[in-house]
Structure 1
Amino acid sequence: MSIAMGELVFVALLFFGIALLYSSVGFGGGSSYLALLALFLSSFFVIRSTALLCNIVVVSGSCYLLFREGYFLFKKFLPFVLTSVPMAFIGAAFRLTERTFFILLGIALVLAAFLLILQTLLQRPAKTPKMYPKVLPYGLGAAVGLLSGLVGIGGGIFLAPILHYLKWDKPLVIGALSSFFILVNSISGLGGLVFADTFKILVPETVLLVLAVLLGGQIGTRLSIKSFSAKTIRLLTAGLVLLVGLRILLSNG
């Protein structure tokens, strides 16, 4: 066991809270799982693998709920997925050095934090979706998919703020796309890790953390706490992700 029992229970409780809050707004929590795991583990293979597994568990519940409510527009979501899935696989299959991985992770976390802050403070829901060139979803999907595969997250935390800023569609439709995007790219990223033989987990730790996010995610998808989560949770999470991202960069740069 690489994490002391006391620390592991503490991390599991944090994972439970992250899954509950993130799932209530359509995210999986991958960036925060990475941020926390980076404080307790040194193996970036284990960090990426564990974060992706937790992502898949959490957003599966969100996808089911949003699909049942009729917010899944598969025809509109397809262009994002067609390019993001292969790029997430390629990104995850890269054999990065430990230092390179942590530098990319730090940059990605800082970027994610600023995107969350901008989305929270500047977001104005679209009354009518704006029209953009048909190539835009393919390009965004490819770029975010590659980045998500490299650092071990689903990518929704990058994609959703961009689409909100562009007023691409209604918030709930963007939330549905974000959940679906995270799910398919996390699965693709996991496949890339397996292909590259870099899928590594610590059995007792991972089992406990997956159970924690499963419970938190199921509760989060069934709770209507949007009046609190839509702003306060994003800002608190952005603060945490920003601090840890800067710490990782300072430690490896």
Structure 2
Amino acid sequence: MQIEFLALLAFGVAVLYSSVGHGGASGYLAAMALAGMAPAEMKPTALALNILVAGLGTLRFLRAGLFEWRAFWPCAVGSIPFAFLGGATVTADVTYKRILAVVLVLVAIALVTPIAKDRGGRTMPVWIGVGIGIVIGFVSGLIGVGGGIFLSPIIILSGWASTRATSGIAALFILVNSVAGLAGNLASLKALPDSLPWLAAAAFVGGLIGTELGARRLTPQWLRMLLSVVMVIAAFKLATSK
């Protein structure tokens, strides 16, 4: 797959994910899987792009006052050390591909599943938040994502924050988890591809557009459908490859 097309996919992923405060790692991983990149390259690249886009989203959503500290810190306390441990965990390429395939299918389903209306206002029990953070943190570090795609629906459906505040929570959660996951395996930085600057530029521009869409409450439904199809195809390729 040519770098131009991969950069275009990264742009589209960043637009969609950043509009709801996410970094887009699962989307980048799907695109790289379709491109046939090695897992050793995929994880650090996805996390690096995640840090860039989630960092941008964090700044924008925090400035807009879209954040709930009480729904963030318990999850972060549990997730950060376990994202580090997940990042430090070495898995065989075949095992990694199978785990990632399952995650991509789950994310594809989440992308096309309608989210319930806001029920914000409830207080998250600290011990539950820490427990959720531990599980999400380890899985995120293991496969190379920030975990926002898992955390956001839990917060919204539990009524611990409004949909818009959840965007800010997810952005910062993804940022700290991505940094922790990458820190858990600093040696992986040597595997970053030469094409990273092009992918980073595409993701950055997509992130700028996506956060603006999020601020205006616009939802690119067609992009969600398209990305879900890409993820299912990527999952099939991962599941059938050796």
The answer to whether TM tops 0.5 is yes
Alignment of 1:127-138 (within 5 A): 128-138=120-130
8 Å contact kept, 1:45–1:199: no
Alignment of 1:186-197 (within 5 A): 186-194=178-186, 197=187
- Alpha-carbon offset, residue 77 of structure 1: 1.2
Report what 1:21 is aligned to: 16
Q: Secondary structure of 1:227's partner? A: coil
- Is residue 170 of structure 2 the alignment partner of residue 175 of structure 1? no
Q: How many residue pairs get matched?
A: 241
- Is residue 93 of structure 2 the alignment partner of residue 103 of structure 1? no
RMSD after superposition = 1.9
Cα distance change, pair 64–47 in 1 and its aligned pair in 2 (3 A): same
- Alpha-carbon offset, residue 165 of structure 1: 2.0
Report what 1:8 is aligned to: 3
Report what 2:117 is aligned to: 124
Identity of aligned residues (%): 35
Alignment of 1:209-220 (within 5 A): 209-220=199-210
Report what 1:242 is aligned to: 232
- Is residue 29 of structure 2 the alignment partner of residue 59 of structure 1? no
Aligned-partner Cα distance in 2 for 1:107–1:211: 29
Aligned-partner Cα distance in 2 for 1:208–1:88: 27
Aligned-partner Cα distance in 2 for 1:116–1:216: 18
Cα distance change, pair 172–225 in 1 and its aligned pair in 2 (3 A): closer
Cα distance change, pair 144–32 in 1 and its aligned pair in 2 (3 A): same
8 Å contact kept, 2:12–2:223: no
- Is residue 156 of structure 2 the alignment partner of residue 164 of structure 1? yes
Deviations 1:58-79 (A, max 9, x none): 1111100111111233343111
Aligned mate of 1:208, from 198, 201, 205: 198
Cα distance change, pair 57–175 in 1 and its aligned pair in 2 (3 A): same
8 Å contact kept, 1:116–1:161: no
Structure 2 unaligned segments of length 5 or more: list them: none
Aligned-partner Cα distance in 1 for 2:124–2:172: 21
- Alpha-carbon offset, residue 172 of structure 1: 1.1
Moved over 4 A (4+): none
Aligned mate of 2:141, from 137, 149, 152: 149
Q: Secondary structure of 2:112's partner? A: helix
Cα distance change, pair 86–202 in 1 and its aligned pair in 2 (3 A): closer
Farther off after superposition, 63-72 or 214-223: 214-223
Structure 1 unaligned segments of length 5 or more: list them: none
Aligned-partner Cα distance in 2 for 1:74–1:178: 11
Deviations 1:158-180 (A, max 9, x none): 11122222222111111111111
- Alpha-carbon offset, residue 204 of structure 1: 2.5
Aligned-partner Cα distance in 2 for 1:66–1:154: 17
Aligned-partner Cα distance in 2 for 1:48–1:29: 12
